[in-house]
Amino acid sequence: MRQYLLSIFQPPGEMPDRETLAAIMAEVGALNDEMRAAGAWVFGNGLEAPDTATVLRADGDDVLVTDGPFVELKEHLGGFTVINAEDLDDALAWGRKLARVLGLPVEVRPFVSQG
């Protein structure tokens, strides 16, 4: 098994209303349960807005601290899920399900192999 990161990209603007968001999150919960049952789900969660980020940059012996996101983008990383998958096709199958549930772009990316 190899681990893959399913990155969820969120557009700028208003979040869905409470009712719509609750329905989406119920579907995400069901998909997470499906992944757990299949032995694929490792960890996942949503992230706070990009303006809550703090960026640390090495500068010689110092580390510079700045508020806000690292780069200005139209979309931002809104959440992620780490999964175990047999291969890329297996990871893409889970990514497709997540993209359909969320209605948002999902990037599927393998972790560097440790062996």
Q: 25-34, pLDDT tens digit by residue?
A: 999 999 999 9
Cα separation, 1 vs 35, in Å, equals: 14
Helix then strand then coil, in percent of the chain rounded to 5, is 35, 35, 30
pTM of the model: 0.84
User: Nearest 5°: CA angle at 110, between 49 and 92?
Assistant: 85
**70: confidence class by pLDDT, cuts 50, 70, 90:** low
* Residue reference for tokens 């098994």: 1
pLDDT at 49: 82
